[in-house]
C-alpha cells in the first residue's frame, strides 16, 4: 500500500488542536474558514462538540466560509461521525469544531472531505499554505455565502446506523451509556433504544465544563459507569470520548475492556459472517491478527492514525479487495458498510448485535480471546529520526517493517519504535503473548536505544 505520512506544520493526525485563547483563537478559526472556503467552494457543513468555546470558534470559522462565498449548513452540536455522515450524503465538505478527548480548555478543528473522511496529508498541506497567505480573496456583497441552521440532520445519522441492523437485537438487554456530557448524548441512547435496548445514561446532559468526567474515557473516569452497570445488571456499559468517534466498553462485571480486545472481539464477530481484509495501524496488538487468521481473514497494516486506516481501506476496495473492517486499538473503529471514519455510535450498536448473536456475556467473550501483553513507553529525545536510522541498521537482519517508525517482528512478539509528530519524544511499544516475553524484548530495545543515544543525551522515561 502506498499511503505514507507527510509532515504538516499546524495540523496533526486528527486536525488542529490546542488551548483556547493561546493556540486556538477566533482569528485562527476565521483563517481556517477562509482557507477551506477557497479550497472547497460550495456547501460546507459545520458542527461542534459541547465545549464552551465552541460557539465563538464556530462563528469565526463560518464567517470565513461565508466571506469566501461558501454556503454554510450549521448542524449545531453533534458527534464528529454524524457530521462526517451528513457531509458524505449531502455536501462539498465540512468542518468540525472539537478537541476530541482533550480536557475542556482545549479545542480545535477537523476538516471533512466530501466523501466524509478527514482531510488527508497532501490536501492539509495545501490548506496550511492558504492559511499563511494574507491575500486569500474575499467576495463582494452580492457573492458572499448564505447560512442555514440544520440541527435536524443528526436524525439521518441515527437512522443510518439503526438501519444497519435487522429487527431489534437489543430486546431484553439493559445497557448503560456514558456520553461524558458530549454530543453523543443526542445519538447513542437513541440508537440503542431504537435497537430495542433498555437504556440508562450517566453524564447524559450536554455540558462543555464536563462536570462528571473528562472527555477521555479512561478507566479511572469510568468508575461511575462500572458501578451503574453492576447495579442495573446491564449487559455492558459504553462510554465515548469528547466527539464520540471512539467507544470503549465496561463488561457486565464492571471491568474495563481493553481497546485491543474490543477491536479483536468485533473483528471476530464481523469475520464470522464475512471474509476479507481488516485494516489497522502497525501499533495494534497482534491479537487482531490471531483472531483474523482463525476466522480466515487477512490484516493489512498502515501508519498510525485513523485517516491512514480509512484511506487504505478505500484504496484497497478500489483495487477490488474485500475490506470488512478497520480501526485502531483505542476504541476508534471503522465499519465500511456504514462509512469510512471512526464511529462510536456504530461501535456501540455493533456490540448490541454481537452479544445478541453470540448469546454470551461480554466478560466471557473477552476471556476467550487470545492472550496478549503490551508495554508502552515514551522516551524524551530530540534525536528520534537518527535513532530510528541506527536501530534499523542494528536490526537489519531481523524481520522489520518500516510502515511507521521501525517495527521489529519476531515469532509471536513485536516491538515498535516511532518518533512523535508533535513532541520531542519517541514511543516504544512491545506486544507479546506473555508478560515475561514482552519485558525481555522491551529491555533489549531500551538498552539499544540507550547505547545509540549515549553521547551525553539524557534519556528520560516519562511513563
Ligand atoms: Mg475523538
pLDDT of 1 over the 70 cut: no
CB–CB of 437/358 below 8 Å? no
Backbone angles phi, psi at 104, to 5 degrees: -60, -25
From 53, 63, 100, 353, the catalytic residue: 100
Expressed as residue numbers, the domain containing 280 is: 259-367
pLDDT of 12 over the 90 cut: no
User: What pairing do the DSSP bridges indicate for beta strands 16-19 and 425-432?
Assistant: unpaired
pLDDT of 225 over the 90 cut: yes
Distance in angstroms (rounded) separating the CA atoms of residues 423 and 209: 27
| Active site (annotated) includes residue 380 | no
Task: Write out the three cell numbers for 425.
Answer: 519524544
Residue 110 within any structural domain of the chain: yes
Give the tens place of pLDDT for each residue, 423-455.
789 999 999 999 999 999 999 999 999 999 875
Residue 30 within any structural domain of the chain: yes
- Strands (DSSP E) contained in 20-87 are 43-48, 71-77
Backbone angles phi, psi at 148, to 5 degrees: -125, 145
- 69 secondary structure, DSSP code: T
Evaluated on CA atoms 276, 157, 244, 186, the torsion sign reads negative
Residue 5 within any structural domain of the chain: no
CB–CB of 457/449 below 8 Å? no
pLDDT, mean of residues 157-178: 97
Q: Give the CATH number of the domain where residue 164 resides.
A: 3.40.120.10
Please indicate, yes or no, whether residues 346 and 381 belong to a single structural domain of this protein: no
CB–CB of 429/416 below 8 Å? yes
Please indicate, yes or no, whether residues 66 and 172 belong to a single structural domain of this protein: no
What is Dmax (Cα atoms) for the chain?
Answer: 70
Give the tens place of pLDDT for each residue, 329-368.
999 999 999 999 999 999 999 999 999 999 999 999 999 9
Alpha carbon 231 to its chain's center = 30
Ligand 1 centroid distance, CA of 333 (Å): 11
Give the tens place of pLDDT for each residue, 97-150.
999 999 999 999 999 999 999 999 899 999 999 998 989 999 999 999 999 999
How many residues does this entry show for the chain?
463
The neighbourhood of ligand 1, an ion, using CB within 5 A, equals 100, 241, 243, 245
Ligand 1 centroid distance, CA of 445 (Å): 31
Please indicate, yes or no, whether residues 146 and 28 belong to a single structural domain of this protein: yes
Instruction: Supply the angle between the helices 435-453 and 384-394 in degrees, to the nearest 10.
Output: 110
Please indicate, yes or no, whether residues 349 and 221 belong to a single structural domain of this protein: no
Residue 4 within any structural domain of the chain: no
Q: How far, CA to CA in Å, does 48 sit from each of 74, 95, 145?
A: 9, 8, 20
Please indicate, yes or no, whether residues 202 and 130 belong to a single structural domain of this protein: no
Distance in angstroms (rounded) separating the CA atoms of residues 87 and 110: 13
Ligand 1 centroid distance, CA of 459 (Å): 31
User: How many independent structural domains does the chain possess?
Assistant: 4
CB-neighbour burial class of residue 333 (10 A; exposed 0-12, middle 13-18, buried 19+): buried
Q: How far, CA to CA in Å, does 367 sit from each of 36, 328, 353, 364, 377?
A: 47, 20, 19, 5, 26
Distance in angstroms (rounded) separating the CA atoms of residues 397 and 73: 55
Residue 452 within any structural domain of the chain: yes
Min mean pLDDT across 108-117, 132-141, 176-185, 208-217 is at 132-141
Distance in angstroms (rounded) separating the CA atoms of residues 23 and 420: 19
From 357, 330, 333, 355, select the one nearest 346 (Cα to Cα): 333
Ligand 1 centroid distance, CA of 368 (Å): 29
Ligand 1 centroid distance, CA of 427 (Å): 21
Where among 111, 137, 152 does a domain terminate? 152
Residue with cell 441492523: 165
Please indicate, yes or no, whether residues 114 and 170 belong to a single structural domain of this protein: no
Ligand 1 centroid distance, CA of 18 (Å): 14
Ligand 1 centroid distance, CA of 438 (Å): 29
Residue 316 within any structural domain of the chain: yes
Give the tens place of pLDDT for each residue, 388-410.
999 999 999 999 999 999 999 99
Long-range contacts of 314-318 (CB under 8 A, 24+ apart): 314/115, 314/117, 314/340, 315/1, 315/2, 315/3, 316/1, 316/277, 316/279
Average pLDDT over the chain reads 95
pLDDT of 49 over the 80 cut: yes
Where among 220, 253, 286 does a domain terminate? 253
Q: Give the CATH number of the domain where residue 449 resides.
A: 3.30.310.50
Residue 133 within any structural domain of the chain: yes
Residue 52 within any structural domain of the chain: yes
Q: How far, CA to CA in Å, does 462 sit from each of 158, 218, 261, 373, 426?
A: 41, 19, 26, 20, 11
Please indicate, yes or no, whether residues 353 and 273 belong to a single structural domain of this protein: yes
Task: Write out the three cell numbers for 432.
Answer: 507479546
Please indicate, yes or no, whether residues 128 and 43 belong to a single structural domain of this protein: yes
Please indicate, yes or no, whether residues 147 and 244 belong to a single structural domain of this protein: no
Ligand 1 centroid distance, CA of 31 (Å): 23
Please indicate, yes or no, whether residues 283 and 231 belong to a single structural domain of this protein: no
Q: Sheet holding 71-77: strands in order across?
A: 16-19, 106-112, 93-97, 43-48, 71-77, 147-149
Distance in angstroms (rounded) separating the CA atoms of residues 118 and 310: 9
**pTM recorded for the entire structure:** 0.95
Ligand 1 centroid distance, CA of 365 (Å): 26
Please indicate, yes or no, whether residues 283 and 247 belong to a single structural domain of this protein: no
Where among 319, 336, 367 does a domain terminate? 367
Please indicate, yes or no, whether residues 295 and 335 belong to a single structural domain of this protein: yes
Amino acid at each position: 500500500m502506498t499511503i505514507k505520512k507527510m509532515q504538516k506544520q499546524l495540523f496533526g493526525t486528527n486536525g488542529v488542536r490546542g488551548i483556547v485563547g493561546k493556540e486556538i483563537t477566533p482569528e485562527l478559526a476565521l483563517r481556517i474558514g477562509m482557507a477551506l472556503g477557497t479550497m472547497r467552494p460550495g456547501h460546507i457543513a459545520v458542527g461542534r462538540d459541547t465545549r464552551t468555546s465552541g460557539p465563538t470558534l464556530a462563528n469565526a470559522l463560518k464567517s470565513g466560509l461565508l466571506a469566501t462565498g461558501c454556503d454554510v449548513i450549521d448542524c449545531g452540536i453533534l458527534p464528529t461521525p454524524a457530521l462526517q455522515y451528513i457531509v458524505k450524503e449531502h455536501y462539498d465538505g465540512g468542518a468540525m469544531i472539537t478537541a476530541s478527548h482533550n480536557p475542556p480548555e482545549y479545542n480545535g478543528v477537523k476538516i471533512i472531505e466530501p466523501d466524509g473522511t478527514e482531510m488527508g496529508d497532501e490536501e492539509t498541506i495545501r490548506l496550511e499554505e492558504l492559511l499563511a497567505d494574507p491575500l486569500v480573496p474575499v467576495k463582494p456583497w452580492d457573492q458572499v455565502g448564505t447560512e442555514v441552521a440544520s440541527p435536524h440532520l443528526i436524525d439521518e445519522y441515527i437512522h443510518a446506523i439503526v438501519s444497519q441492523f435487522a429487527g431489534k437485537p437489543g430486546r431484553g438487554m439493559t445497557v448503560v451509556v456514558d456520553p461524558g456530557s458530549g454530543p453523543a448524548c443526542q445519538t447513542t441512547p437513541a440508537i440503542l433504544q431504537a435497537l430495542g435496548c433498555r437504556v440508562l445514561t450517566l453524564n447524559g446532559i450536554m455540558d462543555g465544563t464536563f462536570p462528571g468526567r473528562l472527555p477521555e474515557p479512561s478507566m479511572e473516569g469510568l468508575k461511575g459507569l462500572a458501578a451503574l452497570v453492576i447495579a442495573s445488571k446491564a449487559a455492558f456499559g459504553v462510554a465515548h470520548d469528547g466527539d464520540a468517534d471512539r467507544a470503549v466498553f465496561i463488561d457486565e462485571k464492571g471491568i474495563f475492556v481493553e481497546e485491543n480486545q474490543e477491536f479483536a472481539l468485533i473483528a471476530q464477530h464481523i469475520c464470522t459472517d464475512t471474509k476479507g481484509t481488516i485494516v489497522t495501524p502497525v501499533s495494534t496488538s497482534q491479537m487482531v491478527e490471531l483472531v483474523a487468521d482463525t476466522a480466515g481473514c487477512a490484516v493489512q497494516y498502515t501508519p498510525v492514525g485513523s485517516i491512514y486506516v480509512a484511506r487504505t481501506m478505500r484504496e484497497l476496495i478500489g483495487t477490488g479487495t474485500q475490506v470488512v473492517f478497520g480501526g485502531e486499538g483505542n476504541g476508534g473503529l471503522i465499519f465500511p458498510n456504514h462509512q469510512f471514519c471512526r464511529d462510536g455510535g456504530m461501535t456501540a450498536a455493533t456490540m448490541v448485535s454481537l452479544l445478541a448473536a453470540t448469546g454470551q456475556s461480554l466478560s466471557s467473550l473477552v476471556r476467550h480471546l487470545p492472550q496478549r501483553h503490551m508495554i508502552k513507553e515514551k522516551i524524551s529525545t530530540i534525536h528520534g529520526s537518527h535513532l530510528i536510522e541506527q536501530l534499523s541498521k542494528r536490526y537489519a537482519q531481523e524481520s522489520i517493517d518500516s510502515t511507521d517508525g521501525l517495527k521489529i517482528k519476531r515469532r509471536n512478539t513485536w516491538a515498535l519504535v516511532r518518533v512523535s509528530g508533535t513532541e520531542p519524544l519517541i514511543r516504544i511499544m512491545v506486544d507479546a503473548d506473555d508478560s515475561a516475553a514482552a519485558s525481555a524484548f522491551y529491555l533489549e530495545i531500551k538498552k539499544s536505544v540507550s547505547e545509540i543515544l549515549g553521547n551525553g543525551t539524557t534519556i528520560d522515561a516519562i511513563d
